[in-house]
Chain A
């Protein structure tokens, strides 16, 4: 059984700070990782994905993957109150009917 672990939070950061969200996974063979944002009462929406070790940047977001240590992180620079949401980490997809295993999410609060 694959496991994706996230700290449920809440993680509170002041506006303008860097928010760091972390995720660990159990399957050493996992290849691809996705981050979704979910506002309260809404459906998840894709933020970004990462396949290779290292960093991947997209605007204010940076995903980091370390396969040796089996963790994935999402950094949000210049955090805004509108970033307040639950962030879901997911792994899987490759050669597996695009099925994903999701973590339970980390709730982020950005305080003005």
Chain B
């Protein structure tokens, strides 16, 4: 398997609590991404990173923050979880900044109750 892992794989949390999802890669790829996948919406970009400490917002970034202190780790934090953030979250990595397909992690299924 590609060297990308997400943790946890499943999580149930309560509304209003902070939650952090982790993406870890061993490929030394510069580019990392967080997407969420919801029925009828496909994959939507939350945040992305183009290097250590270099991050930017995607199309659905409200309520989320990210950090990348090392090349291999990209953390996604839900600052105060809401039911609308119940989703499947995928991390992806890319070797290049142009025209490269992604390698996806296995996903994290998050349920906010």
Residues of A with Cβ closer than 8 Å to B?
Answer: 1, 4, 6, 8, 31-32, 34, 36, 42-46, 49, 51, 88, 90, 93-105
Contact = CB atoms under 8 A, between A and B. Distances in A.
18 contacts: A1-B59, A43-B90, A43-B104, A46-B102, A49-B101, A90-B43, A94-B98, A94-B99, A95-B98, A97-B31, A97-B97, A98-B96, A99-B33, A102-B42, A102-B43, A103-B42, A104-B41, A105-B42
B74 interface: no
Contact of B48 (A8, A88, A99, A103): A99
Interface residues of B, number: 28
Nearest to B4: A43
Interface in B54-113: 56, 58-59, 90, 94, 96-107
A88 B43 contact: yes
A98 B31 contact: yes
A44 B104 contact: yes
Contacts of A1: 59
Contacts, number: 67
Contacts of B104: 43-45
A104 B42 CA distance: 4
B59 to A, nearest CB: 7
Interface string B19-31: 0000000000001
Which 5 pairs, one residue from A and one from B, show the smallest C-beta to C-beta distance?
A: A46-B101, A104-B42, A43-B104, A102-B43, A102-B42
A23 B100 CA distance: 19
B41 to A, nearest CB: 6
A100 to B, nearest CB: 7
A91 to B, nearest CB: 11
